[in-house]
Amino acid sequence: MAKSAKNTTKMKKSTPAKKMAAKKTSGSRKKKQTAPAAENGAAAKTPNGAGSASIFQDYDALTEYLTNVSGKSRDVISEYFTNNPDLTQMTGQLPTDPLNVGDAFQEVMKGLATDPGTVMQRQFNLWGDYAKLMATMSRRMAGEDVKPAIEPEKGDRRFSHAAWQENPMLDFVKQSYLIGSKWLEQTVSELDGMDEHEKAKAEFYTKQFVDACAPSNFAMLNPEVIETTIESKGENLFKGFKNLIDDIDRGHGKLAIRQADLDYFKLGENIATTPGKVIYQNDIMQLIQYEPTTEAVAKTPMLIVPPWINKFYILDLQPANSFIKWLVDQGRTVFVISWVNPEPVLKDKTFEDYIREGLFEALSSVSLATGEDKTDVIGYCIGGTMLSMALAYMAKTGDNRINSATFFTAQADFTEAGDLLLFVDDEQLDAIEKQMDAAGGVLEGRAMATTFNMLRSNDLIWSFVIDNYMKGKDPAKFDLLFWNSDATRMPKNVHIFYLREFYQKNRLARKEMVMDGVRLDLGDVDIPIFMQAGETDHIAPHNSVYNTARLFASNGNDKVTYMLAGSGHIAGVVNHPDKKKYHHSVNQALPGSLDEWKAGAERFPGSWWPYWIKWLDSVSDGEVPARMPGAGQLSVIEDAPGSYVNVKA
């Protein structure tokens, strides 16, 4: 981006933006960050950066800047029309409602029509809430100190700026929005007589709608955007527009919102840096063995099976939060599968192929590398779902190569699988199949990333819209968000099988899943099992993980442990003990309900990793001299993190 050589002039101490928040605004400004930036410890910056020059002070720089933006805009538009010669999205040749939202809201309208009494009562409630708001605002304008008619829910950072409370106009707008959105969501949720799936879908998309309509998402109402605009003399709007154009260009005509600085992190240099070697590879995965840091290691090696929906280095971001490095330091010989980012040539691979060519070939390779015939295995998310299916098959076929199995936020019973169940009706799966066919037989990485981001739209979508395009901020140098942006593709057969057979039909939990002619039953598994879940996990809800734990114990396996960690799908797993964050609850029993388990559980502060490693040591003992990659029967192919993980979607 063009910058002048001159320094930015200092703003006067008194500005209209500061008056919006009265005396507390300057204090609140120090806290103004999105949640990710705050977690990363990065200081908030003005759009042009501390100490950098404003483009408005150098007309040559401004001219160059506008020329670059104009040229990029022209290229983006040209590429869009090149990629869409028939403009099929505009002429209706593609599904206009691939998520089948229309049917859900048709059900809502039917529900409203068949229950006019409830509708009228809800309308009276709305009028009453607005009347209360008008009364409190009138009293406030008269100088009274009054309690707001409604306040944001705890943890809602959209209205944290002091001006939302101190400026009467903004306070009125905020409370009006909160009243209207709460009314709309409650009205949909309280409708009777609707199909449960359609109702849940309507509730989900109603939440998406009200989140999108938040006044904080509009530049002229957002006090942080107004302050930034005044302080930068409007430079943020120019930078925001360039960020928008860059993101559309990066998405080849579709908006691909950047959540992190995609140029700062380099795999193997400042992220995914734990030393190791690739010792085996095939069409769908590379197997990495990490170098030991202790003289002696556990006799039984450890294999990690990450999800192929994301890349494995979520467990090896940086040394200070790397689970893989920590596990190596505990004296374990650690192997991890690095899944390929599949091209259309792999479109015919199946879920069973991923079990055989992924898990089973990895187990064989670990044995060749270490000389051991048993392995401890970790399955994360969909990697754990696959591990569950494989364990049931291995139990039936007498394959005893797995000594113990640990599951990170993984489900095999999808009865209570959360909001992702909303995306698996027949119409939506048919639309996904068409989408994958159009892409050559793979699901593009952005498609799944968008779905996951919608589950937390305020944090993972709208906060970045505000920061990137309204404030004109540079993307954060945040390792977790970089990983979240590094999406992967998925082969059609694998992904459709996962959605239909697990999410939609729940065949494994119902003992209806068949592999190689063998009917599978998780109750047949008789090895030590450790199930980790996250309290606020929105992808693998902790009640769903508990149901899975009970499936493993259903035929008398008394070696099943369920542990509940604080936080969610990522932070609940990646929680280094040195951080001293969150908590974890343990209970050796597996009673009939999760509520009973919680009632008998004991809660401890901090990371659950030390508790788990003690459990692992109890089921996987013995020591041998440390093993170096390449010292066994498999030769070194290349350095970790390998080449497969570097393939971008």
Q: Catalytic residues, which ones?
A: 381
Does residue 21 contact residue 223 with C-beta atoms inside 8 Å? yes
Does residue 535 contact residue 575 with C-beta atoms inside 8 Å? no
What own/partner pairs with CB < 8 Å and gap ≥ 24 does 131-137 have? Answer: 133/172, 133/175, 133/176, 133/179, 137/168, 137/171, 137/172, 137/175
- Give Dmax over CA atoms of the chain in angstroms: 83
- DSSP letters along 109-175, please? HHHHHH-HHHHHHHHHHHHHHHHHHHHHHHHHHTT-----S--PPTT-GGG-STHHHHSHHHHHHHH
Distance CA 391, CA 382 (A): 14
Alpha helices in 232-282 (DSSP H): 235-250
Does residue 393 contact residue 362 with C-beta atoms inside 8 Å? no
- Specify the length of the chain in residues: 649
E strand segments, 492-632 = 514-515, 518-519, 529-534, 560-565, 583-587, 602-605, 623-625
Distance CA 428, CA 426 (A): 6
Does the N-terminal peptide bond of residue 223 adopt cis geometry, omega within 30 degrees of 0?
A: no
Eight-class DSSP state of 346:
G
